[in-house]
Chains A and B, each alone.
Chain A
Amino acid sequence: MQPNPAIAIVGSGPAGCYLAQTLRRSMPDAEITMFDRLASPFGLVRYGVAPDHQGTKSIQAQFARLFERDNVRFAGNVEVGSKLSLDALRDTHHVVVLATGLARDRALRVPGESLSGVYGAGQFTRTMNTHPHENPTLPLLGDTVAIIGGGNVSLDVVRLLIKSPADFDGSDVNDPAVEAYAESPVREIDLICRSSADAAPFDPSMLAELGRIPGVQFASEGQTLSGANTSSATQSALEGLRSSEPDGPPRVRVRIHFNSTTTRIAGKDRVEGVEIRLPDGSLHVIEARSVITAVGFDFDPSDPLLGEMGANSDTGLLAEGLYRTGWAKRGSRGTIPENRQCAKAVAAEILKYLAATQSSAPKAGYSGLPDATLRHVIDFEGWLRVDAAERAAAPPNRSRKKFADHSWMVATAHENIDGQTTSAAQRRHVKEQS
């Protein structure tokens, strides 16, 4: 076994965090560093999981342990593949693991997809979560929106669109975006789902949650059942939705179309509708001013790390000493817990490799990285300053206020601990607040 190997994990989302956890349990003395391009750790827990699902986001407390107690180093504000080359990382570390997730919305591969007015759910949820690399506000969606996809992310999109600002109590939603959207909210939503109601991967409790939002009318269409099981949890959640009548005229209508395959996005210069095919072969056009696709996430050919590589369900091994885990390995399937199982499997591969490489040359580890990189690193203490500043800036009915400006995050993280040097960026934002 390599004594005290140096391990670099690229990406601090669930995949990277669970891997560090598993490796730390078997290697109490290894040097483990988790890099992220952002000043903040936790990946999609912070920037994907919906801002009104704070219970799900609370898994951050478990991951924070790694840095607070388990001697794992956080090195934020380091983009591997640009600011720091993968080669430099591999030269200094015995093992490098890519846990960089998949940020690119998967293409539908239907005509009309590049019309203006077509957006991805990743884009949309990053805006609602105030991701510093995303647009700070939503595009103008118009009165009618079609959402394509039958998973939980498409339900997140529906829910975030049908809520009014008052329905976001306790969340850390992007308020400027919500307030701007509230001036011209969507009136009609058509959710287009390829499978039957029973086969749709929706979480029934997330369907039921839609029914707790006031002022919404629901309908569903095209739901020939896949089996005899008509009392599935999804079916009863749908029943609940259909019977939840708003008190007055509805603010917004949601129609769910099951068994409907999207064949084309219609329109000349911008979206005018979505063409769907029903099981009987007939084609229908649903009118829509914009479209949000929620059909998963894909590898990005322009990504310097993984490029056009596809998913691999067997091994995390990419090259000697180079591995991948999480969505970057499996594709965009699965919830947070699945990354824990995945981490255990990849950790086992890594441990086996390290056990077999007794006599390789010592490596400098983190401190062997170029000064130009180390100078800009944001450590966990730095992140805690951002965290504290965000909580302090939260309005009374919000859990935190995020700032869309990554340079604000970086400046706040680098702040002197005694608070003597409030940065110009922070003062500006505090002013905007009041």
Chain B
Amino acid sequence: MKISILFGTESGNSEMAAEDLAASLADTYETEIRDLAEVSPEDLREDALYVFVCSTYGEGELPNSALPFYTALSQTRPDLTGVHYAIFGLGDSFYTETFGHGSLKLDAQLKDLGAHRAGDFGRHDASTWEPVGEVAVAWFEDVLSSLQVNSNAA
């Protein structure tokens, strides 16, 4: 399985988390990192696992660099049945009402278009000062083991 890590960022934390995640997987999987600004929905394939790592800006919006991808999803509404993804949202609980809403919106949109989410929605809260890379790597181990459990059950 190829793992494609797609990040959406404004201040660079998501890119850093994506790099840490890729480094932790590089020995075991074929991995790539891409900026969501350079990805379009047509690029999504059925034979890869897409890992979205994305922050939140404005009043619970996606970061600017991820907006074109999200807008394209909403406007062209491609059928994403058979596409597998995991998603990790960076945010700050200081924004009490919109904590992580940008990536939650992306998650809802992907699901709505038929894509299948692996594992739980991951979260990082900037106010905790926890190292975002470590949190992302730990979260993704759970995602991978949930995939393992599912494929064993099948």
Chain B residues whose C-beta falls within 8 Å of the C-beta of A55 in the assembled complex: 92-94, 125-127
A58-B126, A205-B59 known; A336 and B94 CB under 8 Å?
no
Cβ of A42 under 8 Å from chain B = no
- A18 pairs with B12, CB closer than 8 A: yes
Contact A337/B94 with A61-B132, A65-B16 known, Cβ cut-off 8 Å: no
Q: Is the CB of B132 within 8 A of A53?
A: no
Q: Mark A332-345, 1 if CB is under 8 A from B, else 0.
A: 00001100100000
**Chain A residues near B131 (CB-CB < 8 A):** 61
Complex CA distance for A55 and B95, rounded to whole angstroms: 10
- Min CB gap A48→B, angstroms: 15
Interface of A is mostly: helix
- Residue A59 CB within 8 A of the other chain: yes
Q: Chain B residues near A53: list those with CB within 8 A.
A: 94
Query: Which chain A residues (335-362) contact chain B, with CB distance < 8 Å?
Result: 336-337, 340
Asked if B32 lies at the interface with its beta carbon under 8 angstroms from chain A, I say no
Bound-state CA distance A209–B13 (Å) is: 24
Residue A261 CB within 8 A of the other chain:
no
Q: Please give me the 8 A-B residue pairs with the lowest Cβ-Cβ distance, nearest first.
A: A55-B126, A55-B92, A337-B10, A55-B127, A337-B11, A55-B94, A58-B126, A58-B129
20 contacts between A and B (CB under 8 A): A54-B127, A55-B92, A55-B93, A55-B94, A55-B126, A55-B127, A56-B92, A58-B127, A59-B11, A59-B13, A59-B126, A61-B132, A204-B59, A205-B59, A205-B98, A208-B97, A336-B11, A340-B10, A340-B11, A399-B129
Given contacts A55-B92, A55-B127, A340-B11, 13 further A-B contacts (CB under 8 A): A54-B127, A55-B125, A55-B126, A56-B126, A58-B127, A59-B12, A59-B13, A61-B132, A62-B12, A62-B16, A209-B94, A233-B59, A336-B11
B residues near A (Cβ < 8 Å) are: 10-13, 16, 59, 92-95, 97-98, 125-127, 129, 131-132
